[in-house]
Amino acid sequence: MNFRSTRSNECVSPSFALLHGLAQDGGLYVPETFPENVLSYSELAGKSYQDIAAVVLSYFFTNFTAEERKQMIASAYNDTTFRDDRIVPLHSIDTDLSISELFHGRTLAFKDLALSLFPYLLTAAKKQEQEDRQILILTATSGDTGKAALEGFKDVDGTNIMVFYPSEGVSPMQKQQMQKQEGANVRVSAIHGNFDDAQSFLKRVFTNKEVNAYANENNVLFSSANSINIGRLFPQVAYYVSTYVNLVDNGAIDEGEPFDVVVPTGNFGNILAGFFAKKMGVPIHQLICASNKNNVLSDFFKTGVYDMNRQFYMTDSPSMDILLSSNFERFLFYVAHEDSAQVFQWEKDLQDTGKMAVSAEALAELQRQFAGGWIDDDETEAVINHVYNDFGYLLDPHTAVAYGVYLNRHKQGLDEGRHTVIMSTAHPYKFPPTICKALALPPQEDPFAMLEEIQAITSMALPKPLQELKNKPVRFSDAIDKENMKSAVLSFVDAIAKA
Ligand X SMILES: *Cc1c(COP(=O)(O)O)cnc(C)c1O
Q: Where along the sequence are the contacts to ligand X (CB under 6 A)?
A: 109, 111, 144, 227, 264-270, 319-320, 398, 425-426
Shortest reach from residue 127's CB to ligand X, in Å: 28
In the set 70, 111, 437, 498, the catalytic residue is: 111
Q: How many CA atoms lie within 13 A of 499 on its CB side?
A: 17
Shortest reach from residue 143's CB to ligand X, in Å: 6
Shortest reach from residue 287's CB to ligand X, in Å: 12
| 146 vs 253 by CB, closer to ligand X | 146
Query: What is the DSSP pairing of strand 3-5 with strand 29-31?
Result: antiparallel
Which H helix or E strand runs over 420?
A: strand 420-424
Neighbours of 410 (CB within 10 A): 13
| 181 vs 319 by CB, closer to ligand X | 319
First to last CA, the chain: 37
Sign of CA dihedral 4, 5, 9, 10: negative
Shortest reach from residue 242's CB to ligand X, in Å: 17
Query: What is the DSSP pairing of strand 97-101 with strand 3-5?
Result: unpaired
| 3 vs 331 by CB, closer to ligand X | 331
| 324 vs 439 by CB, closer to ligand X | 324
Tabulate helix, strand, coil % of the chain (nearest 5): 45, 15, 35
Q: How far is CA 101 from CA 109, 269, 389, 420, in A?
A: 9, 17, 19, 14
Shortest reach from residue 68's CB to ligand X, in Å: 27
Which H helix or E strand runs over 398?
A: helix 397-411
| 248 vs 287 by CB, closer to ligand X | 287
Pure H helices in 87-229:
111-115, 118-128, 144-153, 172-179, 195-207, 209-217
Rounded Cα–Cα distance for residues 18 and 123 (Å)? 9
Shortest reach from residue 401's CB to ligand X, in Å: 8
Residue among 306, 291, 466 at smallest CA distance from 377: 291
| 320 vs 336 by CB, closer to ligand X | 320
Amino acid at 280: M
- DSSP string of 192-206, one letter each residue: ES-HHHHHHHHHHHH
Query: Which SS3 state, helix, strand or coil, does residue 429 take?
Result: helix
| 144 vs 151 by CB, closer to ligand X | 144
Rounded Cα–Cα distance for residues 304 and 358 (Å)? 5
Contact 192, 481 (CB under 8 A): yes
Burial of 419 by CB count in 10 Å (0-12 exposed, 13-18 middle, 19+ buried)?
A: buried
Rounded Cα–Cα distance for residues 1 and 58 (Å)? 10
Amino acid at 369: Q
| 143 vs 496 by CB, closer to ligand X | 143
111 noted as active-site residue: yes
Shortest reach from residue 163's CB to ligand X, in Å: 14
| 63 vs 327 by CB, closer to ligand X | 327
Shortest reach from residue 112's CB to ligand X, in Å: 10
Shortest reach from residue 81's CB to ligand X, in Å: 17
Residue 446 has φ and ψ, to the nearest 5°, of: -85, 125
Q: Which residues are catalytic?
A: 111
